[in-house]
Amino acid sequence: MDLQHHTLQRPAAKAILVLILVATLSGQGAFGQNIQTLPNRVRAPALDGGSDWINTSGPLDLGQLRGKFVLLDFWTYCCINCMHILPELKKLEQKYANELVVIGVHSGKFFSEGDSKNIHDAVLRYGIEHPVVNDAQRILWTKYQVSVWPSFRIIDPEGFVIATHSGETTFEALDAFFSRAVLSYRRKRVLDETPLRFELERYSEAPTPLRFPGKVYADEASDRLFISDSSHNRIVVTRLDGTLVDVIGSGGMGRQDGGYQAATFDHPQAVVLHQGHLYVADTENHSIRKIDLVNKQVTTIAGTGKMSSEFVVRSAGRPTSTSLSSPWALCFHEDELYIAMAGKHQIWKMTFDPPKIFPYAGNCEEDIIDGPLLPRAAYQKGFAAFAQPSGLTSDGQWLFVADSEGSSIRAVPFLPNDRVRTVIGTAALPDNRLFTFGDREGRLAPGMLQHPLGVAYDNKRIYVADTYNNKIKVIDLATSTLKTIAGDFESGRTDQPARFDEPAGLSIAANKLFVADTNNHLVRVIDLADNYAVKTLDIKGLEPPDIEDSTPIVPLANLKQTTFAATEVKPVDGQLGLSIELNLPEGNKLNSAAPMSYRVEVLDGDKIISADAVGKSQQISDLSTRFNLDIPLAATQGAARLNIMLTFFYCREGSEAVCKVGDVSWTGLVTLSDKARTEQLELKHVAW
Predicted local confidence at residue 613, as pLDDT? 43
User: What's the CA gap between 24 and 561, in Å, rounded?
Assistant: 43
Buried b (16+ CB within 10 A) or exposed e, 53-79: bbbbbeebebebbeebbbbbbbbbbbb
3-state DSSP assignment of residue 89: helix
**pTM, whole model, 2 decimals?**
0.83
Residues in the chain predicted with pLDDT less than 50, given as ranges, are: 1-39, 550-558, 606, 610-621
CA nearest neighbour of 536 among 581, 486, 603, 575: 486
Q: What is the pLDDT of residue 368?
A: 98
* Contact (Cβ atoms closer than 8 angstroms) between residue 631 and residue 576: yes
pLDDT in tens, 453-479: 999 999 999 999 999 999 999 999 999
Name the residue among 156, 153, 220 with its Cα closest to residue 182: 156
Average confidence score pLDDT of the chain:
88
CA distances for 101 relative to 46, 72, 539, 594, angstroms:
15, 9, 40, 19
What stretch of H or E contains 105? strand 100-106
Q: Could you give the domains of the chain?
A: 18-204 (3.40.30.10), 216-536 (2.120.10.30), 561-684 (2.60.40)
Identify the helix (H) or strand (E) that includes residue 265: none
For residue 445, the tally of other CB atoms under 10 A from its CB is 9
Element (H or E) spanning 174, and its range?
helix 171-187
> What pLDDT was estimated at residue 593?
66
- Phi-psi bin for 346: left (phi > 0), alpha (psi -120 to 50), beta? beta
Residues in the chain: 688
Q: What pLDDT, on the 0 to 100 scale, is given for residue 592?
A: 66
Cβ burial, residue 321 (10 Å; 0-12/13-18/19+):
exposed
Choose among 155, 156, 164, 154: nearest CA to 188. Answer: 156
Which neighbouring-strand residues pair with 618? 596
What CA–CA distance (Å, rounded) separates 68 from 661? 14
First to last CA, the chain: 51
